[in-house]
Amino acid sequence: MKLKLVFLSFCLALTTQLYAQMPALERVEPMFWWAGMQNPKLQLVVHGDKIASRDVSLDYPGVELVKVHKVENPNYLFLDLQIAPSVKAGSFPIRFTKKGSKALSYTYELKSRTQDPNRIQPVSSKDFIYLIMPDRFANGDKSNDIVKGMQEHTINRDSMYYRHGGDLQGIIDHLDYLQDLGVTTLWLNPVLENDQPLASYHGYANTENYQIDPRYGSNELYRQLGDELEKRHMKLVQDVVPNHVGSEHWTIKDMPMKSWVHQWPEFTKSSFKDQPVFDPYASETDKKRMQNGWFDTHMPDLNQDNPFVQNYITQSDIWWIEYAGVDGFRIDTYAYNDAKFMAQWGKALKEEYPGYYFFGETWVHGVPNQVYFTQGNTVNRGFDTELPGVTDFQTLWGIQAAMNEKFGWDEGVSKLYTTLAQDYQYQDPTRNVVFLDNHDLSRWYSVVGEDLNKYKSGIAWLLTTRGIPQLYYGTEILMKNFSNPDGKVREDFKGGWSSDKVNKFTDQGRTALENEAYNYVKTLANYRKNNPVLQTGKLMQYVPENGIYTYFRYNPDKTVMVVMNTGEKTETVKTDRFAERMSGFNSAVNIATGENVADIKSLTLPAKTTLVLELKK
């Protein structure tokens, strides 16, 4: 169905019915800010019926109204404020006056800085990230399952498309479980309001930038989650979507200007092809379609060339860092964004919070394709993207090949080895997030044919290789399925609902096989958590032979040896080849089992198994 976007934007902006229903002053965003921020500039978005017809004034020491922007839609004003470094926290009225009309006023507050400078702890290779889809993890508050006035008001756990009722309270209730597992960082799929009529549970079509979806909880509860994590020395990653919003977003229902989103004569979806972004031979037409095409009919593509859009995105993300103590961002669909804007966005975050960490989703094929998006201008990008890390799809393809392909010169585990051998192209590959599955991908246990040995090999690699490991909720208890469609890999964590007949959060609720998997993850994750050698230690890998891949993580204090047999039969590996890293060591401890290995001159590995050994002198 063709969507006449230009016509839509005019209709949405000029509908007389909307005028009649709109309050004279509907909202001001951001609704408050903080004194003492590094950037003295702040742009407020003001929305209300014909608000542009009014004069604006304010009077507060240290705050100057620099400029009032009137745009195409008379229901908007954009106010540029300059905030002096010496300004004191406090409140003041912003007045909107018009001769012959009642004056309007908004009490704006500059709060004292919320966050202690030491509160924001950048995510790093010392961490272990656990990804949760909030709607499908645990329902801690039944009272918010259905919220009056929101468009989607059906709870149906038997459907993969409807909401199931999981929420922030459910996550808070299970922090002990996550901490015990060895998790240090939570990444939640987007939790901002998604008041879309259908399939709003996944969160990637937000309709508000400053409000948590009430079916998950409240802004205050989200901040409480951040506080609870901080008490446990854990961290919070927020999933942000700068590329697009939901079609029901308030700025789409009444757009400030036609250029707020990318306009096309008829509906045009992105090609989702990353190559035109960096292809020296690419046509401008292909590049434009890739970056300016819409993600879907209900996800309008924001025009990041528009300075008002730029400010709106950047300020709302900084607001959440300061308000809730968000320690990092995962950036959805990174490659589809305007690259120079994202560099500007990243620089703004780092200037406000030095060392701040964020990583971009780069679902691409080929190491150079992936490196292209990372910071440092390492592959002749022409400018610094300011992006510290990416979702490392290349190592994902490598570990999948290692487990499922027959070994060969370029096949099987050779792909994993070759992928890591190309790390020289990154400014710092240890900032990449490595993973086995996520909310868009088939679950790891299914990918390896429900073979527990292969499953464990993947987990062993995840928790011992370089980078920041990320586990998808339920992977530790062998949740399975293929992403056809995506909803099949977004099932509920059993035990998260009071009506569940089993509780997988407990030993008693899990099967023997599930407990074996859970305990394997827990053992390796907590070893990693307590041993810097697997966090920041150097890596040395050896060319795979006969399907055997061997690598070491080492620092001055410890050496860990990982030996992966990807073949179909038991193999005995003589270790004299690894003397460069094993010299002086004569025994080891199997980290997964705690067993002593008295003789390490040779190692016997059953088919499709991986040994993780701490070497001893």
Class of domain 129-254+328-534: alpha beta
pLDDT mean over 512-523: 98
Q: What is the pLDDT of residues 123-137, one digit of tens each?
A: 999 999 999 999 999
Sign of CA dihedral 214, 217, 218, 222: negative
Rounded to whole angstroms, the Cα distance separating 405 from 447 reads 12
pLDDT tens digit sequence for 398-416: 999 999 999 999 999 999 9
Confidence at 421, pLDDT banded by 50, 70, 90: very high
Q: At what angle do helices 307-324 and 219-231 cross, to 10 degrees?
A: 50
Residue 545: closest CA among 522, 583, 524, 574: 574
Q: Quick check: 118 pLDDT over 80?
A: no
- What pLDDT, on a 0 to 100 scale, did the predictor assign at position 128? 98
The sign of the dihedral angle between the CA atoms of 212, 215, 216, 217 is: positive
What are the structural domain ranges in the chain? Answer: 13-111, 129-254+328-534, 538-616
- Mean pLDDT, residues 50-71: 98
Task: Point out which residues pair with 77 in neighbouring strands.
Answer: 46, 70
Task: Report CA torsion sign: 291, 469, 408, 450.
Answer: negative
Q: Global pTM?
A: 0.95
Q: Say which of 230, 361, 437, 476 is annotated catalytic.
A: 361
Task: Give Dmax (Cα) for the chain.
Answer: 93
Q: Examine the pLDDT at 16 and tell me if it is beyond 90.
A: no
Q: Are 334 and 360 in contact (CB under 8 A)?
A: yes
How does DSSP assign 103-147, residue by residue?
Answer: -EEEEEEEEPP-S-TTT-----TT--EEEE-GGGT--S-GGGSS-
Decide: 175 and 235 in contact? Cβ < 8 Å.
no
Q: Is 208 a catalytic residue?
A: no
CATH of span 538-616: 2.60.40.1180
pLDDT single digits (tens) 194-204? 999 999 999 99
- What confidence tens digit (pLDDT) does each residue in 257-300 have? 999 999 999 999 999 999 999 999 999 999 999 999 999 999 99
Integer angstrom CA distances of residue 163 from 155, 169, 247, 403, 452: 5, 16, 19, 35, 31
Which neighbouring-strand residues pair with 110? 33, 90
Residue for token pair 């994590």: 229
CATH assignment of 13-111? 2.60.40.10
**193 flagged as catalytic:** no
Who contacts 3 (Cβ-Cβ below 8 Å, separation ≥6)?
Answer: 266, 267, 297
325 in helix, strand or coil? coil
- 244 backbone dihedrals φ, ψ, rounded to 5°: -155, 170
Among residues 152, 254, 332, 492, which one is catalytic? Answer: 332
Percent of the chain clearing pLDDT 90 (strictly above): 94
Is 23 a residue whose pLDDT tops 90?
A: no
Mean pLDDT of the chain: 95
Q: Report pLDDT for 115.
A: 65
- Whether 70 shows a pLDDT value over 80: the answer reads yes
Same fold yes or no, 13-111 and 129-254+328-534: no
Q: Report the alpha-carbon distance of residue 84 to residue 87 in Å, rounded.
A: 5
Q: What percent of the chain has pLDDT over 70?
A: 96
pLDDT at residue 11, as a whole number: 41
- 117 burial via Cβ count (<10 Å: 0-12, 13-18, 19+): exposed
